[in-house]
């Protein structure tokens, strides 16, 4: 009965347009009140405080702040320029530039929507000039932005480690390293999907149509850059490229924890923006703090509401009963993993990754333990599923960011996103059934 009320009320609230955080909190408080009466409200402060007063969670606001600082510091345009001089002369060079830049920026921001917002304004017009429709160009940006939560550092992986950590002893450092190859595979899949989309678009759009839609951009070039130009672009981008190296190198070298690494990233970004690039002005500090503060507030509201939801799932033994129901369907791990893929893909299309981790991890932990699945592999499995959700209609947040930048309608981009969804699902199936893709780098480098 509790499960029906909890999930049923949550589903109804989401369907009628209530924000996810409010829907999670309202459905949780309703169940608490039914079970405990008015005295249940005395539990709320303790549960909410316990869910947010964790040292590891401090990494989230600092990584968000570091990403915003690097965006204001002009790192995105330098990364785009560096990728352009390296591969821009190829036939589908602008597509390669887009995906490579998304991977670069993902390694700085740790956020899908932030990646789309940082590079979309420059690259969507360039993609259109290169022969793609605005819908296809926006779809490429939306899907490439999903790599932001797979390539380390990843805010989503930090949340997974926190939610699953007590029972599964998940290492954030190992998760970060395990996300590298899956992130690169997604990028390769998006390149092929974009080339396919471009071929279709070239048949439907004449060069005159394209010229009318967008002004000329310097990112379209058939000339191979000289070694001098490549070196110059590299020299300008090197400070941004070093940021993930410093973050991950410090974590794996035992110099600092992931939370401390986030703080280092903030100071490094500020130093580069003010003293190296000199694009970061003192007047921008208020905007940076405001933007990162609002993003952090939204995430922490979701974290606290989702923690309350997860508390009820666990204490009312809803997680155990739902896990047993899944296991009763089949004892074959291949079938169960396929079912979980379907569930998580559907869930990711309607709720954000952080909420999904808090809702589903407690339910799925018994299944992980039953089949003796490597927690790192399962963390990547869930993260990739939810990364796909970022660009899956109708609620994928990357789609809305890309629609705003590309000035396209949701129904149009929803059609254009199909090849990218197919390529992402192929990669997801590879990650699901070939766990070595996730564990290869952590095992190679001996990261526990």
pLDDT per residue of the chain (448 residues) written in tens, 0 to 9: 778 888 888 888 888 888 888 888 898 888 888 877 776 677 788 777 777 777 778 888 888 888 788 778 887 778 888 887 887 677 777 888 888 888 887 777 667 777 787 778 778 888 887 778 888 889 999 999 888 889 888 888 888 988 887 677 888 889 999 999 999 999 999 999 988 888 776 555 444 343 333 344 445 555 677 888 888 888 888 888 888 888 888 888 888 888 888 889 889 888 888 888 888 888 888 899 998 888 888 888 888 888 888 888 877 777 778 888 888 888 899 999 999 999 999 888 888 888 888 888 888 888 888 899 899 999 999 999 999 988 888 778 888 888 888 888 888 888 889 999 999 999 999 999 999 999 999 998 877 7
pLDDT at position 390 is 87
pLDDT at position 438 is 93
Both structure tokens of 310 = 């997860």
pLDDT at position 207 is 40
pLDDT at position 212 is 39
pTM, to two decimals: 0.83
**3-state SS, one letter per residue, for 151-202:** CCCCHHHHHHHHHHHHHHCCCHHHHHHHCHHHHHHHHHHHHHHHHHHHHHHH
pLDDT at position 221 is 54
pLDDT at position 202 is 59
Both structure tokens of 257 = 């924890």
Please list, in sequence order, all residues whose beta carbon lies within 8 angstroms of the beta carbon of residue 421, skipping any fewer than 6 positions away: 143, 388, 391, 392
pLDDT at position 184 is 94
Q: Domain locations in the chain?
A: 1-42, 57-444
Nearest CA among 354, 384, 377 for reference residue 187 = 384
Q: Which long-range contacts (CB under 8 A, 24 or more apart) does 241-244 make?
A: 241/79, 241/82, 241/104, 243/66, 243/70, 243/75, 243/107, 243/108, 243/268, 243/269, 243/272, 244/107, 244/108, 244/152, 244/153
CB atoms within 10 A of CB 68: 25
């Amino acid at each position: 009965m509790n499960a029906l009320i909890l999930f049923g009320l949550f589903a109804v609230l989401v369907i009628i347009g209530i924000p996810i955080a409010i829907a999670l909190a309202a459905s949780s408080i309703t169940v608490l009140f039914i079970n405990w009466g008015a005295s249940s409200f005395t539990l709320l402060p303790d549960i909410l405080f316990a869910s947010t007063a964790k040292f590891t969670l401090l990494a989230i606001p600092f990584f968000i702040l570091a990403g915003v600082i690097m965006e204001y510091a002009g790192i995105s345009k330098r990364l785009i320029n560096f990728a352009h001089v390296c591969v821009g002369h190829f036939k589908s060079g602008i597509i390669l530039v887009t995906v490579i830049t998304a991977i670069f920026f993902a390694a700085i921001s740790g956020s899908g929507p932030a990646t789309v917002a940082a590079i979309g304004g420059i690259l969507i017009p360039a993609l259109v000039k290169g022969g793609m429709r605005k819908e296809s160009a926006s779809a490429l940006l939306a899907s490439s932005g999903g790599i932001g939560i797979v390539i380390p550092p990843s805010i989503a992986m930090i949340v997974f480690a926190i939610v699953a950590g007590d029972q599964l002893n998940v290492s954030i450092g190992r998760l970060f390293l395990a996300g590298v190859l899956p992130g690169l595979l997604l990028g390769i899949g998006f390149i092929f999907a974009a080339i396919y989309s471009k071929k279709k678009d070239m048949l439907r759009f004449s060069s005159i149509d394209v010229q009318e839609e967008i002004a000329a951009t310097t990112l379209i070039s058939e000339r191979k850059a000289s070694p001098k130009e490549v070196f110059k672009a590299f020299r300008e981008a090197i400070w941004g490229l070093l940021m993930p190296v410093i973050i991950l190198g410090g974590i794996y070298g035992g110099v600092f924890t992931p939370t401390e690494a986030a703080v280092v990233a903030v100071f490094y970004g500020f130093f580069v923006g003010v003293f190296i690039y000199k694009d970061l002005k003192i007047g921008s500090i208020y905007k940076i703090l405001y933007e990162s503060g609002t993003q952090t507030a939204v995430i922490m509201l979701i974290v606290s509401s989702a923690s309350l939801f997860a508390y009820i799932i666990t204490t009312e033994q809803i997680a155990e009963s739902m896990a047993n129901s899944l296991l009763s369907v089949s004892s074959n791990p291949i079938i169960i993993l396929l079912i979980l893929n379907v569930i998580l893909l559907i869930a990711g299309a309607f709720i954000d990754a952080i909420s999904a981790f808090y809702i589903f991890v407690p339910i799925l932990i018994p299944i992980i333990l039953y089949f003796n699945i490597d927690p790192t592999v399962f963390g990547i499995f869930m993260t990739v599923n939810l990364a796909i959700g970022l660009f899956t209609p109708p609620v994928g947040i990357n789609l809305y960011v890309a629609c705003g930048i590309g000035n396209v309608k949701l129904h149009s981009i929803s059609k254009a996103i199909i090849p990218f969804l197919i390529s992402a699902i192929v990669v997801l199936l590879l990650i699901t059934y070939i766990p070595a893709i996730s564990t290869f780098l952590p095992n190679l480098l001996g990261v526990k």
